[in-house]
Every structure is written in structure tokens, then in C-alpha cells.
Amino acid sequence: MIKKLFFLCCVILLSNNLLKAQKTDVWDFGGAVLDTSLYNNQLTVDAINAFYPGVTAGTVGPTVPSTTVLTLTPGVLTFKTGGNDRLYTTNTAITRYGTSVRTTDPNYTGGYYCNGAAALSNGTRIFTMTLNEDDQVTFVASAESTGNTLIVTNSVSGQNESIPIAAVNTATLAKFQAKQAGDYSIYCSLAGKGDFFRILRKAATYTTVSGTVNLSQAPGIAANYGISFTNAAGKTWSSTINSDGTYSVKVPQGFSYTASLTNANGYIITSGKTLDLTAVTDATFNQGISVLKVILFNVTGNVTGLGTAISNLSLTYTPDASTNSIYVPQPTVNKTNSTYSVQLEPSKQYTITALGVNDYQVAPLTITIPSSDTSADLTFTAKQKYNITVTAPELNATQLAALNLTFTNVNETGYVYNFSGINGISLRNSTYAVTSGGLDAYPLQQDLTSYLTVNNGDSSKVLKFIPVTNWSFDDKVITNATPNYKGMSFTGNVANEIAKGHLIGQAGSTITVPMKPGDKMKVSYYYSANFSINGGAAVTSTSGSTSNVESVDYTYPGTSAGNVVINVAGQTYFTEISTTPIVAYSPTITVGSGKNYSTINDALTAVSRMVRDNTQRVTIAIDPGNYEEMIVVNSPNVTLKNASATPSIALNNKGLGIDANAVRITSYYGYGYNYLSQGTDNKYNASVLAVNKANGFTNYTNVSGTTNNSFWNATAVINANNFIAEDIIFENSYNQYISQKESQDVLVLADGNKGVRPTTANDLGVQSKTFTERAAALGVPNNIDKVFLKNCRLVGRQDVFFGGTNARVAVYKGVMMGAVDYIFGGMDVVFYQSAFAMNVSEASSDQSYLTAPQQTSGRGYLLYECKVTSAIPLVETASATRAKPGYFGRPWAPNTGEAVMYKTTVETSDAAGFAGQSLISPAGWLNTLAGTSDRIYEFGTIEQSNVNNSANRVSWSKVLTTPFLTDGTEITTFNFTKGNDNWDPFAGLTTLAVSDTTSAKMGVNAFASGKKIYITEVKSSTEVKVYGMNGSLLKTINVNQESNFDFTTGLYIITLKSKDGIKSVKVLVK
């Protein structure tokens, strides 16, 4: 009895262990806890929060630490993060970037978003998973764009699978089996940004598959024939053939297999070829297999005409579809003897295809054999070639003699043809990319070149070569043995790393750069440096940082073209070397017809070439007109100014036109489309458009966000400090009208597109809500300081004006025109008496959200005495009515995003059903973007509807009764702009009411004239205090009548306190 009990206990324990062993390991990025009787939950809330060291659990907004190896389960699963990767989850206990899980599948509450492609070179955004043989793995994943796959590799077994995954919002269950035990790399294909929601790993559960093998149609099959089953990973399981004509094989559940015969040449499986166990959970499964004998005869012959090219030859024989043949011939080529052999069915026509020898054509093209062995030779002849005439007008005879040309067949992989010089070139029919070489001794490079097409006749191609003035070290391999690179020459130990875009010079090496009289050279470097230029002072750096790029300028002193030598004294990482002609400094340059420059971009290029100190500003005076350009301001201290004596920022003709005295800078790129005009810098390029139109496609993918200096396809990117714009319209026409250039462009639908856009210039159909998407007019990157817009208009719909973290921006009056989250980002910005014009269509769902603050620290948005209004119907928009009620905004960074509405005048709607209602809905704010924030304020709102909605605001916003924020900061423009250097761009433009809590009876005032400060309209005893802009109290007096006193030059805040209240004003003593 005791033995029986002991045996029973052992059985129970063994059963429990087996049950536990069969549990599925699960890693859920939402921290979900699945049924513990079925799953081993490996990724807990605490484990996910540990991704963010030093961050309070549950914090919203942080990105995942970059280039960090996350150990999800020790010894089993790791992942190396990339830059700005994000975790999205609705689980509030988890630290996360946001709550918008990037799938509509309700089964998943969290996901890891890769904000960039995987990098094989350093393992970034790649999972490493240790698996046992036959382990079953499921990745629940998607990609940001279509056409991507989940890549699974194991270098030892050679397993390399590509499993298709859907685009964003659709979760794909990508499954694979481990071919053998070892470490596997799993990642989203290199073209995409992956989203990973859940990972599951389960030890294989096996099913015994058996059935009868029907050999009634397979007489004479060998006694030792076999049946094998192969999965997608290429692993094969061989079955046992029993004496009773049945087979049996044990294979893992959950996958599909393909059955094949072994030791049975001339026989094929006609039924039961596919074994589908994807939904099978039983221990046994029955599937019969039928085998058919195919009557075959040998076909042999000689292969002539190929010469050594026979080494690349492979053959296929395809039966005519009308024969319904299921037999697949397996030809072999004896490349040593130049013969071939194949077995074919008689009386059936086969088409012969020769692979690997596309420069030749084969005869015969078809074959039908009798019921006997047959001999048939295959004869190859070279395909006809046509003469190609190449000209290169910019090259001299010496350069033409050094020129090498490469023609790459773009339709047939591996077919590349090289020629020395431009003569004697002939090619067969196809399309070719044309590239050049041999000119590295000269500062020349081939310009963009369209494909060459050869179509049954001679053809020609003109190659244009342009001077090289920028050496980026990221387009060609440079080693110690490389003497020249685009006219630059090297000695000593010099080499580049293309992926990192830098050239490393070791001690004792030299770099010789060609220069011309009047040129300036800029040498950029990072991490470490020790070099000199033409024997000058040493340039050194020990920053140890690859993000901190430093530079030094050198002006060429020569009177004729020559070379400048950079002598390297210690290891130096050069990121770029460039030369530009120096332009004489001028405080004002002009743009317009017959002016200094015809385009704003040309003027900005000229400014970048000026030699000036950091106190010298350049004003670009722009004649009124429409400038369809994408601009990037890279030079500090630049002003763009409307040159009209009576400048205007008015729109007309439903937003299509502008006033005769207006300057409009406009472009049309937006999210969801690729453009044939788009260069690799994400900007418009007429040459790129011409080449891509000729080729019929583009290889470039439009990027949004901050990637590649896009800033949501901004018309203007302000990438330099101390920028000023005066009386300029910055517009993105994506949701306004079809511009002239857009009508001439070719758009390719991409992920997130809004459908086919109109193609006729001036079409206003894109103002429809259905076309609304991200398309910025103005972008200010992180850390850009002192951007000042004076009486400007910004025009767009969604994401119109972006300002990055630590950017300081001031906006004086003007009009901000947009719809969805149209002022967005982490900038510190003050809008003084600006109009916020809701630019929406008449669609019932089309509402405006003015702001999307994203600050994590510091100050945020201050709308000071601004006006909420609407685009003017039928003048600034095609809409026939004013906007419907919208919202002040919705935080983009929960908890810390800051927006302050100070004395905002809110106009009313006249839209159907909303006539007379406030343009701001009673709730005021939404939390639908990223959550709520404690830094949302409103003070002194003036409702023209005469309805006080302050009591109806959302609970998490703060309606203030005094003009002080909860941290004690007084609401003044200066407190938002001052930073660490007391910047006050509004000083002198107007007298600002800094805080006004007085009753209507308080009339006392203060102002400055000359060197005196005047106190006027004193009705009773008044205390006067004068403060410096740093907050220090400088003077206190009490007055009972109008008074004045002398004061030193400067800007001051004066507080006036009497029995009627307190008033503060800002004065400028000159």
C-alpha cells in the first residue's frame, strides 16, 4: 500500500512539473497579468518601471533610456533600445510616454514603440532570445509603415525568416519555431519602425501525425521511399513508413508543414502535401497521402555559346498551364562539360528559362518530347547591344581620360557594366543607373542623373559634374590606402566610418583641401581633436561627446587657387569640412525681382557666407509677393522683413490669395505622402523632381516629427538664435489649397495618407476635414534661443507652429491660424495681443484645439491679452461660417505641460447650431492627447458671449482669481521671456499692464518720458514702488498728488497701491 501511495505521489508531482513546463512564458508591455495557470508572466509592472532609473513609477512623458540593454528575463530575453523610443500603455502604474497604445486591438494595453529602424551594426532595436530546439515563439507586433516584416535569424542553424507584419494600429501574431537551440535575433525589418505589444514563448507540444499512403497510382516505387515534413524555418522531420502502408511522424503543433518524398524520383504527392497544425491541440492527427507515378524521360544535350558565363547558368522548365501538370522538373547543368540533363513528361510543352545569364538568349524557347529519351542542345547567343553616346561638358580631356562609368541594370539584380572613358559603350535593352568614378583627384562630383533607358535603338546621356565644396565622409569608403577623396588628398593614417559620418585622422597624418581666393573653410569635429591649419594655432578638444559638434573657420589668404594642409597632431574625429566663397557683410540685403537675390534661400545662403561678429545683424528685406520655398535659417542674428512701406499680412480669395503688400513664404508637404520633389534633406529640390519624374519613382520616404530636420514638414525651420521676422506670412498650404508647385509635383500615397489629393493648382478642396493632417508652417528646434515674430501670420491646420524644449520664442501681435494642436511642443513662448484664428471647415466634427503644451520643466505658453477668433469666412477660408466652439488646448506632456491664458478675449461663433456661443467650449480643455496637467491656467477671460464659463472648466485646469500661478510666479510677459539673461523683446513696443487687480475706480497711472517717471491721476494716498527687471526693489515713495522724479535709463516695473486697488505697469526710461 505504501509503495502504491508513493508511486501515486510521484505521478502527481511529475504531472504538476509537466504542467508547469508547458506553461507559456509571456512578456506583455502593458504589464498585463495573464492566467497564471497557463502563463508565466515575465514582465511585471515593477520590471517595466525599472526601465527608467530614478523616475517615479507611473510618470507620464519620459522616453525609454537610449542605447541601453534591457534585460527582460535574465538568460532568456534582452533588448537594446534606440534613441527616443517610447512605451505607450493605459496602465497608469507604469512609467510611460503616453497612453495612446498603437493598436486598435483591445487585447493589448501597452506597446514598445521603436522610434527608428533596427541597426544590425550595433544591435540597436533588436531582441536577443535564447531558445530551445522547437520552441514556439509569437511576437505580437506591427510596423509604422506597410511592407515590413519581422526578421528572425540564428547564425548557427542558418535560420532566417521574414514574417509579414501589418502597419500601425493592426497587431500581427508573427509566429516562428526555433530550428535548433541557441540565441536568436528578432527585429522589425530595416525599413520600418516596429511596435511590440506582447511576446510569447512555449516549449513545443508535439502531435503524432499518421495516415495511409495511397500508392495505387505509384507502381514500382522504391521499397525504401520516405516522406518528410518541412516547416517554414527549413527544419525537416522524417516519417516512419510502416509495413501496412501507413506512415507516422511526430511534429510540433501550431505550424504548417510541406510534405515531400525521398528516394522516389519520378513520383509526386498529389494530396496531403500541406499539413496544417496551426489550430491543432490534440495528441494525434490523421492525414492521408496519395502518391502518383509520373512517366518521365531523360532529356540531355550540350550547352553552347556561353563560354565562362555558364558558371552562372540555371534552368527552369515550366509546363504549359493547359496540361494541368503538377510535376516540377529539376534540371541539372554540368558546368565543367557544358551539358545539361532533365526529366520531362512526354507530349507536354515546356517553356525553357535560362537564369543567371541575362545577357544571352536561349534557343529553343520551348520543348515537347516524345515517349522516349531525347537529345536536344541549348544554344545561347548574346542579346543585341546598342551604342550609347555619353557627354560630360564640365570635364576636360584629362578628366575624361580618368573617368570610369558604371551602368547598373535596375531591373535585373547583379547586372553591372563598367567602361573606361566615354567611348565604346554599348548596352542591351533595359534601364540603367549611371554612376561615375576615377575623379577623386579632382574636386568634382556627378550631379543627380536620371536613368538611361535602352529600347531597341541607340541612346545618349549627358552627365553633369559639379564642384565639390563639402566633404561629409559618409558616401565612400576611405582607408589608409586612399590617396584622394573628391579632390581632397591624404597622407598617413586616415580612415572613415561611413555609418557614423566621420573621418578619423591619427597623429602625423595630413589632409589637403583645395581652396580658391576669397574662400572660407569650416572644419567641424567632435569627441577629440588635435590639429592645425596651414601651420596655425593648435585646435584641440577632449569633449568625449559625439553630440557636441565644434568647428573652426579658416580664411584662405591666397590670390590664386591652391591647397590648404590640415596637420593632425593627435587623434581627431572630423565630421565635415566645407569651403564657401566669402560674401561681404551687409546689414541689409534685398529679395525680389531685380533685387540682390530672387529667392529667400539664395539670400540665406549669402548670409551664411558672410564674415561677421555676433553683434552684426543681417536684415533680409523681402518685396511683397508669394515665395513658394522651404527655408532653413542656420545663421544667427537674421531678420526677415516685409520690405513694403505699408506691410500687410492679410489673406483673401478664401485663403488662396494675399494682399498686394504681403509677403507669404509657403510650401505644401504634409504627412501621409511621398513627393518626387523631395531630396534626402526632406526639403523641396527642383533637380530631384526632374530626375525622379524621368525615372518615374522616388526612393525617398517623407519623414515627419523632428527626424531629418523635418519638423512636421515645416515651411520654415529656425535653427539659429536671435531670429526676427516682421510682417511675414508663414504658411503650409497642405490644407489650404493646391499650390503651383504641388500641381507640378507627383505624390505617392504613403502610410497615413488622406487619399488622392486634387492636382489642379488653386483647388480649395483640401480645406475639407477629410484632408486634415500634420503639416507645419514654422518649426523651432530644441534649445534655439530668442526667436521673435512681430506682426506675423502663421497659416495651417494641424500642428502649425512647433517649438522644441528650451526654445525661447516671443510673438508680438499677428495672427496664429490653425485647427488641431496647432501651437505645440516644449518651447517657452509668449504671445502678446495675438489673434488665434480657428481655421476649420464646416464639417460638424471639425473643431480647433489651440495649444498642445509639452514642457517637462521651466515655463510654457503664455497667451497674454490675446483674442480667440475665427478665420474670416469666404475671405481667409472657403467656409461660409465662422468656426464652431473649440478648446484652448490639450496637454501633450501630462502633469507638466504649461499653458496660461491671461485676459483672453473670446469671440463667438455663427455656425449653425452655435450662433452666439463662445468659440471656447465651456470645458475649455481636453485630455485626449496625453492626459491632464496641473499647469493649465486661466485668468480674466473676457467672453463676448457674455456667458461666464469659468465654473464649467475641467476640474484639472485652474481658473485664477489673482494673476499669480500656483508656484507664486506673477503672470507677466517678462517672467516668461526673461530666462537667465533678462530678455524682454516687448520692451519699448508698448506699455504693458503687468498685473491689474484694480477696480474700475482706480485711475492712477505711471509712465516715463525722457529721464523722468511720472505718476498721474492720483486721487488718494498712493504707494509707489520701482522694481528692476531682476525683481530688486529700487525705490519706494508715497504720493498724494501727481508727481515725477528722475531715474536712470532702463526698463522698470512700477507698482501703484491705493485704497482703490493695486496696479503694475512697465516703463522704459530713455
CATH number, domain at 474? 2.60.120.260
Identify whether residues 896 and 806 lie together within a single domain: yes
Q: Which residue has the cell 501507413?
A: 246
Would you mind telling me the total number of residues written for the chain in this entry?
1070
CB atoms within 10 A of CB 286: 11
Please report, for the domain that includes residue 283, its CATH number: 2.60.40.1120
Task: Determine contact, residues 327/299, Cβ cutoff 8 Å.
Answer: no
Of 382, 417, 439, the residue at which a domain comes to its end is 382
Cα–Cα distance for residue pair 339/353, rounded to 1 Å: 16
Is residue 830 domain-shared with residue 923, that is, in the same domain? yes
Is the peptide bond preceding residue 164 cis, with omega within 30 degrees of 0? no
153 plus 103 within the same structural domain? yes
- SS3 label, residue 382: strand
Tell me, yes or no, whether 178 and 229 share the same domain: no
Q: Locate 802 and state its grid cell.
A: 512647433
Same domain, 717 and 753: yes
List the domain range (segments joined by +) for residue 331: 297-382
> What is the grid cell recorded at 929?
492627447
According to DSSP, the residues that pair with 1044 across neighbouring strands are 1014
510 beta partners: 491, 567
Looking at 269, 293, 317, the residue that finishes a domain is 293
Backbone angles phi, psi at 587, to 5 degrees: -65, -20
CB 591 within 8 A of CB 600: yes
- Cell numbers at residue 527, please? 569627441
CATH code of the domain containing 1018 = 2.60.40.3080
- Measured CA to CA, the distance from residue 1061 to residue 206 in angstroms comes to 85
Q: Which triple of cell numbers denotes residue 643?
A: 520690405
**Same domain assignment for residues 483 and 462:** no
Cα–Cα distance list, 103 to 118, 149, 772 (Å): 20, 17, 21
Identify the segments of the chain with pLDDT beneath 50. 1-21, 991-1000
Q: How far is CA 876 from CA 403, 649, 786, 793, 858, in A?
A: 56, 11, 30, 12, 36
Residue 148 included in any domain = yes
CATH number at residue 450: 2.60.40
Judgement on whether residues 944 and 1044 belong to the same structural domain of the protein: no
Q: First-to-last CA distance in the chain? A: 110
The answer to whether residue 675 sits within a structural domain is yes
Tell me: do 856 and 803 sit in the same domain: yes
- Give the residues across from 334 on adjacent strands: 339
Q: Are 317 and 341 in the same domain?
A: yes
Q: For residue 452, is it within any domain?
A: yes
Angstrom CA distances, 163 to 71, 117, 142, 176, 556, stand at: 25, 17, 11, 8, 57
Looking at the fold, whether 378 and 524 belong to one and the same domain comes out as: no
Residue after which a domain boundary falls, among 293, 326, 345:
293
Q: Confirm whether 609 is domain-assigned.
A: no
Strand-pair partners of 787: 723, 809
Q: Is residue 353 part of a domain?
A: yes
Kindly state whether residue 969 falls inside one of the protein's structural domains.
Answer: no
Residue 980 falls inside a structural domain: no
Strand partners, 747: 675
For residue 217, give the amino acid letter.
Q
Query: Among positive and negative, which fits the CA dihedral 958, 960, 965, 968?
Result: negative
User: Residue 1037 forms beta bridges with which residues?
Assistant: 1024
CATH code: domain of residue 93: 2.60.120
Same domain, 754 and 890: yes
* Residue 429 domain-assigned (yes or no): yes
883 DSSP assignment: P
Cβ atoms of 167 and 191 within 8 Å: the answer is: no
Beta strands in 714-792 (DSSP E): 716-718, 723-726, 728-732, 747-749, 778-780, 787-790
Number of domains in the chain: 7
68 and 92 part of one domain: yes
Residues 6+ apart with CB under 8 A from 785: 721, 722, 807, 808, 979
